[in-house]
Structure 1
Amino acid sequence: MATLVLSGLQLMVVLDGTVANLALAPLQSELELSDAGRNWVLTSYALAFGGLMLLGGRLGDSYGRKKMFIAGVGLFTIASLLCGLANNEAMLIGARALQGVGAAVASPTALALVATTFAAGPARNRAIAVFAAMTGVGSIAGLILGGALTQVSWRWIFLINVPIGALIVGLAVIALRETAAERLALDVPGAILATLGCTGLVFALTEGPELGWGSPAVVGALVAGVVLLGVFLLVERRAENPLLPFVLFRNKDRVAVFVSIFFAGAVMFSLAAFVALFVQDVLGYTPLQAGLAFVPFAFGLGAAAAASSKLVARIEPRWLIVTGTVIMTASLLYGSTMDGSVRYLPTLFVLVLVVGFGVGLAVVPLPLCAIAGVGSHEIGPLSAIAQVAQTLGGPVGLGIIGAMATSKTLSLGGTSGAVADMTEAQLAAQGAGYMFALVGCAVCAVIAGISALFIRFTPEQVAQAQEAEKSVQTT
């Protein structure tokens, strides 16, 4: 039962991240969101999730993991209900941010509970395997289930979490056992400063095209974001138990790894959003058709991930990452030339499959490089930082790429908002903006690839990292 509880949470979080992309077009139309408001539906969740994830894990250590897991799932469930009942932009975005806070507490605590709930050996290995499998299952199931639910109403992608979350909370009370609390100094100021700083930057980038780059709100948010992130770095240098220990960044190779992870996260997050909007708003796909259209991406990613996990112990990881980013860049630049006349077979099908393969080839070696050449006691913190870098790369990247897309649309005589009220010329401009976003994704892929060239870890070090990761999980 404990496996069901913990893997159920992972499935719910992954599903939520997948289905939200498919719902962007219909919810923008129903709630009359601007393009910036539409993007905030994704970024508000990701900023809260990524910015507070490290603190969420520390809360479990300090106050008991079972207690914090239940609190996190409960908050996520309540926030999902508010998302489903939202009747305006502010309520939806606020509820999505609250969802991110709940996920930031529950998700890292769930993974830690796998290690403390099951005895080392086959039982724990099975639990870890099921927990990890939920990411893949959730990705594909989210495309199909999310599309089907969105076709009924976008509200159901959030409301479906309510009974599932309530069931997980009820079973968690029965099945999980509490862990001993270890009272550590919590770096709450660091978590808040990092989250607010990133939010300020994303706000400036997202709202700039519509409010004007010289707008006091945009300039103020940009300045505030930079200042808050600067203060965050000062706080981290003096914190008793910092969320971001600078000692972990002394290795230049590892810094290059985190840069690559950040920009790879930007590619995946932004690509999914804009392709989903393109196929629905421009090509006229239903949400279910859009979800099914993305399935080849998951298969391409899975095939490349399986190959990459074996090759990484034989080939220098940087060349696998660079190869993956080259495939991504070429595919994205080709995709940016598409318009409303493109057909799914063979063009879109092959493109989605190839991009997925490139992503899989690049992203598998990166987390292993993050923990290469370190002791077992550093694997946990470095893995967590890698996850945060990927999660925060998404909203920051979407802020920049979204600004590029909106600016392109407006420059062609298009308008911001739902496509239902657009003329044919405005819709063409909107499609051109969506496809121009792929150029931004390609630029991020190039940066990830260039950064990967500075990663000097050997296949032997990465193979040792694979074994060390397995050892930490099973002991």
Structure 2
Amino acid sequence: MEPVPYTSETAHASGAARPMTARALALATLVLSGLQLMVVLDGTVANLALAPLQSELALSDAGRNWVLTSYALAFGGLMLLGGRLGDSFGRKRMFIAGVGLFTFASLLCGLATNEVMLIGARALQGVGAAIASPTALALVATTFAAGPARNRAIAVFAAMTGVGSIAGLILGGALTQVSWRWIFLINVPIGLVIVVLALGALRETSSERLALDVPGAILATLGCTGIVFGLTEGPELGWGSPAVIGALVAGVVLLGIFLLVERRAENPLLPFVLFRNKNRVATFVAIFFAGAVMFSLAAFVALFVQDVLGYTPLQAGLAFVPFAFGLGGAAAASSKLAARVQPRWLVVTGSVIMTASLLYGSTMDETVQYFPTLFVLVLVVGFGVGLAVVPLPLCAVAGVGAHEIGPLSAIAQVAQTLGGPIGLAVIGALATSRTMSLGGTPGPVADMTAAQLTAQGEGYMFALVGCAICAAIAGIAALFIRFTSEEVAQAQEAEKSAQTR
């Protein structure tokens, strides 16, 4: 699932929407929705570029995974702090700074000549997104007057997620077919236009100097990074390697220190009071594992169809389009059913569909045909994802006051975003171990023999077993979510009210 920026109640209190001309409103809509489109596109096209990128830069399997996880770790780990920076120093200022950093990092990605430069630039992209993205939707609330104008802006902003997901598959495939570098370089002119237009189209909000929990953000990000490093590098360096053991231990220790810091912080990123409800804890667990499924599934299926089936990047992108339609159709149905059916049954049903489909998909090999097998499988998995993921964010904010909707929505988004790289680290370790146990070798497929390539394909499909396990865990966690359909319906109305006030 693509990032949805966080807005807190302070988004409405720290800046009042004032009358603007129609032209200014149109430019503001273009700026804010453009940022959302750029972030969604970047997340989609990166998966399609993994195979050619790994081949050209001679990345190991671990290095290939880091192209995705470095971005997601920085984005997820710093997202809550990014929202607070907008509150403290002005949203327009931080939005422009974040977009500028994201654009500069995209340029570095496109010019990368080795693994270290590319992974470092991807992490910098994540930092830029963590600063810009949480302020974007909040700026909608402070730029547009409550009522039809703001509703239209929010609708356009939200639509960019769907448009970006489908456009990213087609445009990303086409750009990658020319060169993987263009999926990053295309962000440069887009980012520059957004920055220039933002300077004139957006109004600065008043700042509220709050204590920033910088230690908490750094500890959480480094702790997750240590665990992901250990899990990602374990199959290649060896599980007994001092670097692997040291990273895992350091990650656990840092996360433990993070919890201690949060208990004493004046303005903690993770208020423990929000976790007193067991239903909500179960919701966050389900969100975390659902995020792991989506993040890992996209990466390994993209690799399988390109490396094993021989699809071009454009063909791979087009092959994923049914997933977007399946997800969209199920999401629309799930959104309506959530107010009538207990949300846990929607999540469980979606999880069962995902688990069964992924286990079946794990039996595929190089002889599989797109029609009907892959087409139907991609469509059905997308439907399962859409059915499961819509009720979960609503459960995260069910039964709470209006002032808690923002923080809880943000934590739900962080859980989903961090579930991706952590899940990919575990599932990637399983896939690489499976490949090596069958006589394969990690690295670019261009250097592999036929037998090694077959082993690589087995590893990619074994990753679907890992995705199925994560989907099953999400479904089991959902059984402990006891929110009623009435509470979810109230949460839907509360979210709409919070966005349109």
Counterpart of 1:114, as a letter, is V
- Work out the CA distance in 2 between the residues paired with 1:31 and 1:56: 32
Q: Does 1:290 align with 2:316?
A: yes
Query: Could you say which residue in structure 2 is the equivalent of 1:175?
Result: 201
The alignment status of 1:191 with 2:217, answered yes or no, reads yes
Give the match for residue 449 of structure 2: 423
Q: Please, which of 125, 128, 134 is the counterpart of residue 108 of structure 1? A: 134
Determine the structure 1 residue equivalent to 2:85. Answer: 59
Amino acid at match of 2:303: L
1:101-131 deviation per Cα after TM superposition (whole angstroms, max 9, x unaligned): 0000000111110110000000000000000
**1:151 alignment partner in structure 2:** 177
The answer as to 2:276 corresponding to 1:264 is no
Find 1:128's aligned residue among 134, 141, 154: 154
User: Counterpart in 2 of 1:355?
Assistant: 381
Q: How many Å separate the matches in 2 of 1:267 and 1:15? A: 19
Q: Which residue of 325, 336, 359 corresponds with 1:310?
A: 336
Match of 1:213 in 2: 239
CA drift at 1:359: 0.1
Structure 1 runs of 4+ with >4 Å offset: none
Within 5 Å, which residues of 2 pair with 1:21-420?
Answer: 21-420=47-446
Tell me how far apart the structure 2 counterparts of residues 97 and 176 of structure 1 sit (CA, whole Å): 27
In structure 2, what residue type is equivalent to 1:33?
L
Question: CA deviation digits over 1:44-95, x for unaligned, max 9?
Answer: 0000000000000000000000000000000000000000000000000000
Structure 1 residues 457-468: aligned runs within 5 Å:
457-468=483-494
* AA at the equivalent of 2:60: S
One-letter code of the match for 2:244? Answer: V
The amino acid across from 1:87 in the alignment is T
Distance 2:182 2:286 in 1: 35
Q: Distance in 2 between matches of 1:260 and 1:34?
A: 31
Secondary structure of the 1:339 match is: coil
Gap runs ≥5 in structure 2: 1-26
Q: Secondary structure at the match of 2:367?
A: coil
Give aligned pairs, total: 475
Deviations 1:147-191 (A, max 9, x none): 000000000000000000000000000100000000000000000
Give the distance between the partners of 2:149 and 2:81, measured in 1 at CA.
Answer: 28
Residue 450 of structure 1 is matched in structure 2 by: 476
State the alpha-carbon separation in 2 of the partners of residues 411 and 426 from structure 1. Answer: 11
Structure 1 counterpart of 2:30: 4
Deviation of 1:397 after TM superposition, in Å, equals: 0.1
Read off the aligned partner of 1:40 and give its amino acid letter: W
How far 1:468 moved relative to its partner?
Answer: 0.3
Distance 2:193 2:408 in 1: 33
**Cα offset, 1:344, TM superposition:** 0.2
**CA distance in structure 1 between the aligned counterparts of 2:135 and 2:490, rounded to whole angstroms:** 26
Query: What RMSD in Å do the two structures reach over aligned CA positions?
Result: 0.2
Q: List gaps (5 residues or longer) in structure 1.
A: none
